[in-house]
């Protein structure tokens, strides 16, 4: 999974960006009201978008389903738009993480960061509401909900 950068845009929402395996920079501007804009940046001018796609909240859900997102993550994203101060992030458990083969309970992540792990994506499978006995494997993606600061702490922990 590519590394995603997140930029808070006060009064607007959040911009997420990543570089594809083919070297194209892609951005998603997530507006607070649920609307999204997908940007593909020009290879010659990294500050200019060569393509811009405007999506309503319904369009976003449709595209997410077509791209393989689960109902769980789409539902969580919809809730996030309605609650002030709540953020969601997808955090990969890398092969070198000390939490590979550990349970959620052993990591005490909610106690340490205030972030709830609400789902785990493992390959093509999503485990909704995993319990404290859920054991991580390398490559799992934890879906966390909490404050942006707490998510940052959890991201650091999972990289250790």
19, two tokens: 């570089």
57-67 and 71-80 are packed helices; what angle lies between their axes, rounded to 10 degrees? 150
Q: Give DSSP secondary structure letters for 17-33.
A: EEE-TTS-EEEEEEETT
Question: Cβ distance 142 to 126 under 8 Å?
Answer: no
For the ranges 16-20, 42-46, 61-65, the lowest mean pLDDT is seen at 61-65
Q: Which fold has domain 85-160?
A: Alpha-Beta Plaits (3.30.70)
Predicted local confidence at residue 110, as pLDDT: 95
Helix (H, G, I), strand (E, B) or coil at 114: coil
pLDDT digits (tens, 9 = 90+) for 84-127: 677 888 888 877 899 999 999 999 999 999 999 999 988 878 89
Question: Cβ distance 70 to 127 under 8 Å?
Answer: no
Predicted TM-score (pTM) of this structure: 0.52
137, two tokens: 């494997």
Domain assignments of the chain as residue spans, ordered by start: 1-68, 85-160
Predicted local confidence at residue 137, as pLDDT: 92
φ/ψ (deg, to 5) at 67: -85, -5
Question: Cβ distance 55 to 35 under 8 Å?
Answer: yes
Predicted local confidence at residue 72, as pLDDT: 54
150, two tokens: 């707490």
């Amino acid at each position: 999974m590519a590394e995603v950068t997140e930029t808070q845009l006060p009064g607007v929402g959040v911009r997420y960006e990543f570089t594809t395996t083919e070297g194209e920079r892609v951005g998603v501007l997530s507006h607070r009201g649920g609307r999204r804009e997908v940007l593909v940046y020009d290879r010659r001018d990294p500050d200019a978008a060569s393509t811009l796609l405007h999506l309503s909240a319904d369009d976003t859900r449709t595209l997410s389903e077509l791209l393989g997102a689960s109902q769980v993550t789409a539902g969580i994203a919809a809730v996030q738009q309605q609650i002030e101060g709540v953020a969601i992030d997808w955090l990969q458990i890398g092969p070198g993480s000390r939490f590979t083969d550990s349970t959620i309970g052993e990591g005490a992540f909610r106690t340490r960061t205030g972030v709830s792990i609400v789902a785990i994506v493992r390959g093509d499978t999503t485990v909704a509401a995993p319990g404290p006995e859920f054991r991580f494997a390398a490559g799992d993606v934890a879906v966390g909900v909490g404050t942006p600061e707490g998510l940052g702490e959890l991201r650091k922990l999972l990289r250790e």
